[in-house]
Amino acid sequence: MPPAYELAVAAVLLDMDGTLVDSTAVVEAVWGDFAATHGVDLEAVLRCSHGRRTIDTVTAFLPDPHQARDVAADIEADELVRLEGIIAIPGARDLLASLPDAHVAVVTSAERELAVRRLTAVGLSCPTVLVAAEDVEAGKPSPDGFLRAAAALGVSAEDCAAFGDAEAGLHAARAAGAFTVVVGWL
């Protein structure tokens, strides 16, 4: 059995996709459609998209801002209705149940409606503090989301532990000053 560790923090900041919810099948299908439609390399899109807002990924491949906004809106609408195959990450339910709501936030690159739908679809409670894509001017790897979540909880980001699986989110959490924990699962 691995050793147990204790970490004293004022609050916990959690990424959603890949940390609480496994949405890999849906994400890969949606970005696969995007890559095929726009003639871009799917592997490059997937490398770019992990942990980032939809608009930021689309803009990386479609430089016309008007086209990028329209395409991102279409992708986000498509994701809202694709919930089949999404599952809770093992241990996510127990983790959320063990944390007092006043000391936990979700910081996600997903739009708020999508985040709530995904959490609800897999039977996870949605913390009161949820910082979504539309709540920040700059998405991950900018620290804005983590700073906003910590402030909403009434604590400093330096007094928080941030859990995430994506490089962009981990960079964002570190830039905010949070103690970061890399989530990986089998």
The pLDDT tens digits for 74-102 are 999 999 999 999 999 999 999 999 999 99
Kindly state the average pLDDT of the residues 29-54: 96
Closest by Cα among 167, 165, 136 to 149: 136
Q: How far apart are the C-alpha atoms of 99 and 88, rounded to whole Å?
A: 17
ω into residue 141 within 30 of 0, thus cis? yes
Chain centroid, CA 130 distance in Å: 10
List 17, 56, 144, 165, catalytic entry: 17
The pLDDT tens digits for 91-130 are 999 999 999 999 999 999 999 999 999 999 999 999 999 9
Confidence band (pLDDT; 50, 70, 90) for 1?
Answer: low
pLDDT at position 109 is 97
pLDDT at position 6 is 81
Q: How far apart are the C-alpha atoms of 64 and 168, rounded to whole Å?
A: 23
Could you give the C-alpha distances from 46 to 1, 42, 75, in angstroms and in order? 35, 6, 14
* Percentage of the chain lying above the pLDDT 90 cut: 94
Kindly state the average pLDDT of the residues 6-28: 94
List 15, 22, 56, 144, catalytic entry: 15
Confidence band (pLDDT; 50, 70, 90) for 5?
Answer: confident
Which residue blocks in the chain are alpha helix, DSSP H?
A: 24-38, 42-49, 54-61, 65-81, 92-98, 112-121, 144-153, 167-176
Could you give the C-alpha distances from 175 to 3, 14, 23, 63, 104, in angstroms and in order? 28, 15, 26, 27, 19
Q: Is 17 a catalytic residue?
A: yes
Asked whether the whole model's pTM tops 0.85, one would answer: yes
pLDDT at position 8 is 87
Average model confidence (pLDDT) for the chain?
Answer: 95
Q: How far apart are the C-alpha atoms of 36 and 158, rounded to whole Å?
A: 42
**Does residue 3 carry a pLDDT above 50?**
yes
**Does residue 143 carry a pLDDT above 60?**
yes
| 143 and 157 Cβ atoms separated by less than 8 Å | yes
Can you read off the two tokens belonging to residue 54?
């939809």
Confidence band (pLDDT; 50, 70, 90) for 67?
Answer: very high
Q: Is 101 a catalytic residue?
A: no
Can you read off the two tokens belonging to residue 185?
């699962």
Q: How far apart are the C-alpha atoms of 155 and 119, rounded to whole Å?
A: 24
Amino acid sitting at position 6: E
**Does residue 58 carry a pLDDT above 80?**
yes
